[in-house]
Chains A and B, each alone.
Chain A
Amino acid sequence: MALLEVEGLTVSFRSRYGQVTAVDNVSFSVTEGETLAIVGESGSGKSVTCYSLLQLLPRPPASIEAGTALFNELDLLRLSERELRKVRGSEIAMVFQDPMTSLNPYLSIGSQLIEPLQLHHGCGRREALQKAVVALKEVGIDRPQTRISDYPHQLSGGMRQRVMIAMALIAEPRLLIADEPTTALDVTVQAQILQLLKRIQQQRQLTVIFISHDLAVVAEIADRVLVMHQGQVVEAGSCSEVLQRPQQQYTRDLLAAVPRGAKQKTATEVAPALLRVSQLSTWFAGSGGSFFGAEAAPNKAVDDVSFEVRRGEIVGLVGESGSGKSTTGRSVLQLLPQTAGLVEFDGVNLSQLKRYQMQQMRRRMQMIFQDPYASLNPRMTVYECLAEPLLHHGLAVRGSAMAQVLQLMDDVGLARAGIRKYPHEFSGGQRQRIAIGRAIATRPEFIVADEPVSALDVTIQSQILELLLALVEQHNLSMLFISHDLAVVRKLCDRVLVMRAGKLVESGAVEAVYANPQHPYTKTLLAALPQLAAVP
C-alpha cells in the first residue's frame, strides 16, 4: 500500500536569470515499510523534491507550481501551515546532511530531543526526558542519562547524527526522509550510521526516503531507487534492477562513473625515487594553553612518517578526517614548516634551501587543491590565473603568453572561449580543470593533489580522474594523491599509504593492500567501504 503518492510535482525558483524550474513534473510513490532512494547529482532536484513535501523550502524564491502529494489521504502540498505542523515531526520526520549545523548550539540535546514529544504527544517534560534517554540508547549512544544534558559541540559528528536520528524518530513518525545523512561523515562512521538506519527501519517497519548522490551507499540500503537528473525522474525501479540492468543512458553513465576496480596500467617498479620523505614530523602548538600557565601539549598532526614517490608513479595517501594526510602533503611541499625529518626532492634536502632557492624549486613541484571554489582567486580571469606561473618563472614573456595559455586550456579540456572569464562563471568541474592547468603550467615533475575530486559530482569526478591519469602519463609526472575515498585511490594509484592519527599504519602496492590488509585499521576502512557490485 502506498504511503506517499507524489504526482506531477513541479517546483521553480526565482533567480536573477528569471524563473528556473528545479523539479519538473516528478511522480513517484513510496510503499509502507520500504526504503526508497532518490539518487542524483547536484542540481538534480532530489533535495528540492523532498523539502517541498514538507514545504521546508524558503518561499520566495521557491514556489510549488503544480502537483499533488497524497499522504494519508492528505495532499501535503495543499495543507495550511497549521495542518502541516501536525504532520511535520509526528507523521513525517527528517534527518539532514550536516549534523554539525543541524542541531541548535544553544540548547542541550535533551531539550531538543523532547520537543517533538511535548508538541505532538503532549508529554510532560519529565516523561519526555525519560523517553529521550531510551531513544538515545536505541541509536547507540552510551551513558544516555549524562549525554542528555550535553550540548551539541561536545559530541562528535557521528554522535550528532545519531542524535538527529533519535530526534526524528522520537515521535514515531511513519515516514523518515534522510537527506544525504552520511555524506559529511568519515567512511567508518558512515558504515555505522547506515547500519543503524537499516536496523531501525527493520525493527519499526519504518518507511524511509533516502536521498543520496552515492550509488554504492544506495546499493547497501535501498529497496527501490529513483534516479533524478536536471529536475526530472530518469529511471525508477527496484534497487537491483536499476543498478544491475539500467535502462536509461544517464543511469548507465552514472554507474560507469562510479570508481571501481584497479588501475589499468601500473607504473614500472624500477623507476628511481623522485621524492624521499624520512621521519617527517609536523607538530602544531597546542591550542587552549593558558596565557600564564604551561604550554599545552603539541598537536602531532604528522608524526614520524617515511615514504618515497618514484618517477612516473601515483601514490595514494588515505586516511579519515584529522589523520594528518593533508598536513603531510603540505609539509612535503614546504607549505607548512616541518618539525623534524627530511624531505628530499631529486636528491635535494628541501628544508635547507634558502627562500629564493625554494621559490625556484617550486616550479618543479605543484599542488592541486580540494575546493575549486576556494583555490582560484575570484578576481583573476582564466588567462591571468594560468599566465601567472608562466610569467613568474620566466617560461613566457608577456607578449607571447597567450599561445601557451591557450595550449594549456586545450590540455585540460577547457573551451578557449572562456579565457577572459572569471572563476565564478564556471562549474565546479571546470574550475578544477583551471586549477589543474595552473598546476601543470610550469611543467612540474611532481604534484601533490589534495582530495582533488571529493567536492565534485561523480560523473565530473570520473572525467577529472581520467584527465589526471592522462596528464601523468603524458608528462611522466609523479603524484601524491591524497584522498579519503578508497575506491578512487584504487582506481588511480600504484601504491597506497594509510594514515591514522598522524602515523603511517600501512603501505604497499594497491592491489596487495586491498586484497590482504595487514593493519586492523586498514581492515576496518576496507570493510566500511560501501560496495557496488560489478555492472555487466
Chain B
Amino acid sequence: MRFIASRLLQAIPVLLVVITATFFLVRAAPGGPFSADRAVSPQVIKALNERYQLDQSVWQQYAAYMTDLARGDFGPSYKYPGRSVNEMIFGGLPATAELGLYALLVAVGIGLCAGLLAGLRPNTGQDYVPMTIAMLGICMPAFLLGPLLVLVFGMRLEWLPISGWGDLPGDKVLPSLTLGAAYAAYIARLSRAGLLEVMSQDYIRTARAKGLAEWRIVSRHALRGALMPVIAFLGPAFAGLLAGSFVVETIFQIPGLGRFYVQAAFNRDYTMIMGTTIFFSVAIVLFNLLSDILATWLNPRLRLALRKGSGT
C-alpha cells in the first residue's frame, strides 16, 4: 500500500540521522578504543588502528562503515577479536526477543484486563483496586521490582529460579513479569481512560437506546475506540521494553542483547555499541511504523481516506 511505502520513506531520514549521529558521537569520544588498556605497547596500538582502519580520516571511515552497513555488516568487535558484531547481535537476539514478547504479553494481557475492569465500574472498588496497583506499577521501576521479586519468590519462598534463561523450568517467569509490569500499568491506565471517554460518547447512548446489553455495547461499540490510545502506545512501549531489557537482563543474567549492550558500553566496544544502537533504532522505528499502521487500519475514516488514493 502507498501509505506503508510513504511511512517507510519517512523512516529513512530518521535512520540516517541515527546512524550518522551515532557514528560521529562515538568518534568524538575522548581516547580510542585501545588506549584504555595499559599493557599494550604503542606498536600494537598502531597495528590495531591500522587493522580496524582507525588511521584513516573520519570521512573515509564513515563512508566505509556506511558501505558495510548497506550490506548488513556491522563490522568486527573491537573487544572480542575474531567475533563480528553481527554474530554477537544474532547471538543475543533470541533471548531478548523472547523476553520482550513475553513481557508484551504480560503488559497487554494484564493491562487490558485491569483497565477495562476498572473502566466499566468507575469510582468503585473494581476501579480503585486495580488502578492503585497500576499506579504502584508505574512508580516501581523494573530495577526495584525485579530484585524484590527475586528476594521474595526466589530467595525466601524459593518458588522460582532467580537467574538464567531457559536453563531451569520457570526461570522465564520473573524476568517477563518484571519487564512487563510497568507497561501493564500504563496500558491499564490508558485503556481505562479510553473506555471512560468512549462510554460517554453519544453513540453509546444510541446503542443503549436500541436495547443492547451492556457487554455487547462494550465489546461491539466501545472497545475499538477505547483501544486506540493503547495501540498508539505500543510503539513507545516497545522502545521502553528494549531499554528495560538492559536492566532486566543484567539482574537476571540473561544472555541477551540488552546485557551485551551494557557490557559493550562499559568496555567501550565502539563497533558493538554502534551496531546495537543502530539495530535497536531500526527495530524501534519499524515497531512505531507497525503501531501506526495498525491504528490507521482500525480507524475507518483514515482507512477510507487512504483507499481513495490520496497517498499521504
Chain A positions near chain B (C-beta within 8 angstroms): 54, 56, 81, 84-90, 93-94, 96, 98, 101-108, 115-116, 119-120, 151, 153-154, 164, 167-168, 288, 290-293
Contacts and interface: CB of A to CB of B under 8 A. Distances in A.
19 contacts: A54-B208, A56-B205, A85-B211, A88-B210, A90-B211, A96-B209, A104-B207, A106-B225, A106-B300, A107-B220, A115-B212, A119-B210, A119-B211, A153-B300, A153-B304, A154-B304, A167-B206, A288-B310, A292-B312
Given A85-B213, A167-B206, 19 more contacts: A56-B205, A81-B214, A87-B211, A89-B209, A89-B210, A90-B211, A93-B209, A94-B206, A96-B209, A98-B202, A101-B203, A102-B205, A104-B206, A105-B301, A106-B299, A153-B304, A167-B210, A291-B312, A293-B311
Contacts of B211: 84-90, 116, 119-120
Contacts of A164: 206
A45 B292 CA distance: 45
Which of B225, B300, B311 has most A Cβ within 10 Å? B300
B43 interface: no
A119 B202 contact: no
A119 B304 contact: no
B307 to A, nearest CB: 11
Interface string B277-312: 000000000000000000000111100100000111
Nearest to A88: B211
A120 B301 CA distance: 30
Interface in B197-248: 201-203, 205-214, 220-221, 224-225
B210 A103 contact: no
B304 A151 contact: yes
A187 B208 CA distance: 29
Mostly helix, strand, loop or mixed at chain B's interface?
A: helix
B209 A103 contact: no
Contacts of A84: 211
Given A89-B211, A115-B212, A151-B304, A290 B202 contact: no
A536 B210 CA distance: 44
A290 B312 contact: yes
B304 to A, nearest CB: 7
B128 to A, nearest CB: 16
Given A54-B209, A85-B212, A96 B311 contact: no
Contacts of A116: 210-211
A45 B69 CA distance: 70
A168 B207 CA distance: 11
Contacts of A103: 203, 206
A165 to B, nearest CB: 12
Nearest to B214: A81
B118 to A, nearest CB: 17
Given A56-B205, A290-B310, A290-B312, A105 B300 contact: yes
A290 B311 CA distance: 7
4 smallest beta-carbon distances between A and B, as pairs:
A88-B211, A89-B211, A89-B210, A101-B202
Contact of B209 (A94, A104, A120): A94
Contacts of B300: 105-106, 108, 151, 153
Interface residues of B, number: 25
B77 to A, nearest CB: 41
Interface of B: 201-203, 205-214, 220-221, 224-225, 298-301, 304, 310-312
A106 B312 contact: no
B221 A104 contact: yes
Nearest to A293: B311
A104 B203 contact: yes
B210 A115 contact: yes
A109 B311 CA distance: 25
B81 to A, nearest CB: 48
A151 B212 contact: no
B206 A102 contact: yes
A48 to B, nearest CB: 13
A286 to B, nearest CB: 11
A107 B221 contact: yes
A164 B224 CA distance: 21
Contacts of B213: 85
Contacts of B206: 94, 96, 102-104, 164, 167
B9 to A, nearest CB: 10
Contacts of A90: 211
Nearest to B205: A56
Contacts of B220: 107
Contacts of A93: 209-210
B301 A153 contact: yes
A120 B225 CA distance: 26
B206 to A, nearest CB: 5
Contacts of A106: 221, 224-225, 298-300
A362 to B, nearest CB: 39
Contacts of A288: 310
B301 to A, nearest CB: 5
B210 A102 contact: no
A101 B201 CA distance: 7
A108 B205 CA distance: 17
Contacts of A81: 214
A63 to B, nearest CB: 16
Nearest to B221: A104
Contacts of A105: 203, 225, 300-301
A81 B217 CA distance: 14
A120 B216 CA distance: 14
Contacts of B203: 101-105
A217 B301 CA distance: 34
A504 B163 CA distance: 79
Nearest to B206: A102
B284 to A, nearest CB: 23
A98 B312 CA distance: 31
